[in-house]
Amino acid sequence: MLEFFEKKLKQVDNRARFLSCVLSGDIKIIPRKQKELLQEIAEKGFDPLPKEVLPAAVGATGDSEENGRSSDVLHASDYEYLTSMTISTLNEGYLEHLLVLKKRFETKVGLLRRTTPECRKSEKEPTVSTDNLIL
């Protein structure tokens, strides 16, 4: 459960930082080639968050080299959580929303870190109501 919320916190934090950079003009998203944008995102220290990939075959180790993913190559899907943000979210209001979400996830992660490991263990990922959360 802790890992789940840490991943969500990282995602929200990166989105807020990215949006802040876009709004301030530090990162220009148009007009430019995707490869250039991905390079700048990586250089500015945003975390690559690849989508979960199932092993290609039974017995696959999940190693990035074996899955056709070299660790030194940028993959568009690693930063899709940033580059796929819709135009309607590129505003100050959405940035404020992300900052509120970040605070909530920081609180949740902080509470989970203070619990015992036995309490943190869960057979399945927690269900998070996304009715009021816009990511």
Q: Write the burial class of residue 92 (CB in 10 Å: 0-12 exposed, 13-18 middle, 19+ buried).
A: exposed
- The candidate with the shortest Cα–Cα distance to 38, out of 77, 71, 65, is 77
- The candidate with the shortest Cα–Cα distance to 102, out of 7, 12, 1, 6, is 12
Q: Where are the alpha helices (DSSP H) in 1-135?
A: 2-24, 34-43, 80-83, 92-114, 117-120
* Eight-class DSSP state of 132: S
Walk me through the domains of the chain, giving residue ranges and CATH numbers.
2-51+72-118 (1.10.268.10)
Q: Looking at residue 62, what is its pLDDT?
A: 45
Position 132 confidence tier, pLDDT thresholds 50, 70, 90: low
7 phi/psi in degrees, rounded to 5: -65, -45
Q: Looking at residue 57, what is its pLDDT?
A: 43
How far is residue 131 CA from its own chain's centroid?
Answer: 19
Distance of alpha carbon 114 from alpha carbon 66, whole angstroms: 37
Stretch 24-52: mean pLDDT = 93
Mean residue pLDDT of the chain comes to 82
Please check the confidence at residue 21 and state whether its pLDDT lies above 90.
Answer: yes
What digits encode the pLDDT tens for the residues 69-107?
555 678 999 999 999 999 999 999 999 999 999 999 999
- Stated pTM of the model: 0.74
